[in-house]
Every structure is written in C-alpha cells, then in structure tokens.
Structure 1
Amino acid sequence: MLRTLIGLLGLILSASVVQAQGGYRISPGDTLQVEVLEDPSLNRTVLVLPDGSLSFPFVGTVQAGGRSVSSVRDALTSGLAPQFAARPNVYVAVAATALPEFPGPEIAPVTDDIYVMGEVNAPGLIAARPGTTLLQALAQSGGLTPFAAGKRIELRRRNQVLYYDYFRTGKKPSVGGSTVLIPGDVVVVPQRRLFE
C-alpha cells in the first residue's frame, strides 16, 4: 500500500515537472537530476557534456543534447530495465541550465607598435605581440626586397641606432635577429648600394 502511494505521489510530481519542462530542449552544460525509485543508490546529478551526451550507471552513454526531458527519461528507463525485475520508475528534471554566452566587449590582443620601413615587401606599422624578435618583425613585414641592404639593417630605439646583419657576413653587428623589440622601435632596411 505504501509503495503504491509513493508511486502515485511520484507520478503526480512527475506530471507537474513534465508540464513545466515539456518544451525545454536539453543543452550541453545543463545539469540533470535523475532519480530511480526502485534503487536510490542510482540517484544522482548528471552533467550534460559538451558533445550533448551524459553517462549513467548500467546505461552507459545517452545522447541528451537537443532532446526533451521526457525523451531522456525514456532512454534511461529503457537502459535500466534489464537490471530490474519490473520496469523501473525513473524521474528526470533539469536541475540547472547552462549559462548562456552573452556577447561582451571583444578584448583586443595585447600588441606592441613596431614600425618597419625601407626595402621590405610590406613596410609600415606592425601590431606585434610582446616578445616579437627583430627577425620575426622582418618576416611579418613580408621579408626583404631584392634591393635591400641586408648587411646594414638598422634598429632605431629611442636615441640610439643599432645594426643588424641579416646575412651574417662576418662583421659583428650590435644586435642579433633574436633581439626582442619594444614598443616604438623602428626597423630601417636601407637600399643596396651599387656594388654592395
């Protein structure tokens, strides 16, 4: 008698929950509360994974994303049925929904303004990421033109002029290709002389 009363109470509660959640489609990130009347050790809160699936003992993986609550309940009931003598009473409710993604202000990546001028294929301002090297800045500006004096590349930093030899011809330049650029640096690639 008590079992019948509990079952009837469960059906009434289930009907009201189904009416409230009938039109809702489950989404990845939702949390479902699953209760099995015949075996309370199976009662648990289940997270719907990013691929829309959920995992449940004795059932395995069930596709929940895009389905209604009653459809997921039926799938869990069918999966658990072989474990019980009679068809189990399974109740499923949405405990929490995934938070919607609100479009917020776009955060621009942090960049340093570096200027490259002269005999490069794309001279001008380069929005370089922090840690960009001299050689990377030259590559980002399209590389050297055929008329570039690669032995005399200048790095102008504040009040000083530093030299870089792209071809490493043996002269000791003041900076190397792995020199990290700082905001405001200007890289000048001069034009080759007649017999250079």
Structure 2
Amino acid sequence: MRRFSAWKTDNLWRIALLWLAMALGIKGAMAQPYHIRAGDVLRIEVLEDPELNRSVLVTPDGRISVPMAGTMRASGQPIEAVQRGLAGRLAAAFTNPPNVFVSVERLADPRLDVGRAGAPELISVYVMGEANSPGLLKIPPGTSVLQAFAAMGGFTKFAAIKRIQLRRAAQIVPLNYRQIEAGSQAAHMKLREGDVIVVPQRRLFE
C-alpha cells in the first residue's frame, strides 16, 4: 500500500510538472511579438504633433514613409522596434523626445501571398503617402489612374499633387494631378497588379 501511495505521489508530481511546462510554453508563445509584414497598414500617432498622425502602408519592399522621418524599413520588425526607430528619427524636430505610438491598423491580406494559383478577379494596388485612404486598393483590371485616385478618396491637404509617382517594378512614372484634371493622357493609363501610387508631402510654399 505504501508502495502504491509513493507511486501515486510521484506520478502526481510528474503530471503537475507537465502542466506547468505546458502553461509556460503557451505563455511564451503568446508573448512572442508580432512582426510587421509587407502589405500591413500601420497607424502612427505623435502625441506632440497630431498633424503627423496618419495611416501608412508597408510597401512590397518592406518600407514605410513618414514626413520628417523619411523612409525606413518596417517589414520583419516588431512594432516596438519601428516605434523606437520613428521616435529617434523625429527627435531632432522636437525640443524633447517625442512620444510616438505605432499600431497595426490592418493586417496584410493573406490571399496576396506569392504562388497562389489562378488569375485574380481584382488586382491589388498599393497607395501610400498623402492619400485620404492609403493602403491596399482592390480594383478591377483596366482601372485607370484617375479612377484609382477617386477610389482612394482623393488627397489630403498636405499632398503634393503635382509630384505623384506611379512605381511599377523598377520604373517610376511621374504624375501631375493638375495636368490629369486638364485632360492629360496619363489619366487613362491602366494600372497593373502590384503598382504602387506614392503621394508625397507638399514642401513649404509649394
């Protein structure tokens, strides 16, 4: 009987240790930080200057562009690292180190992973910078540049609408919205899968 009691106690200890190990493993897995991916949309807020608050797209090459901070790599990094990087880049513009908060506003669409079979019904175009609705734009094939401008809700008051860029692989096509409004042939340019529309911030007195 004593032998059975000792065996029972020993096994109870083993079960307890197993549960503890499982619990610690789950806790460790949950503590793993999220690493940003291309296609994610990040929300950036600067406590000291609300005009810098915006949503930014992580472009296919893994970068984000923020006024006064420039372009920096975000893909593959945890949110805290991007937050620290932005705060460091913006510090020179403030008397005291700014309070920068970064969060994931929208996750990348998993359907955009490379290697999926079949032709998509919609194409994916990325919009970044001073657009009213930056991020991933799902549009029908054959959509023109002007139609895409409408789909992204136009531009913010900070947009340099004469210096818009259409980035297609290694090619950069300059777009002037004023000329497009006036009937430029660029208005009828058809967008392709993976195109990136970049709307830069207006310079002083521009």
TM-score by length of 1: 0.42
Instruction: Indicate the structure with greater helix content.
Output: 2
**Higher Cα Rg: structure 1 or 2?**
1
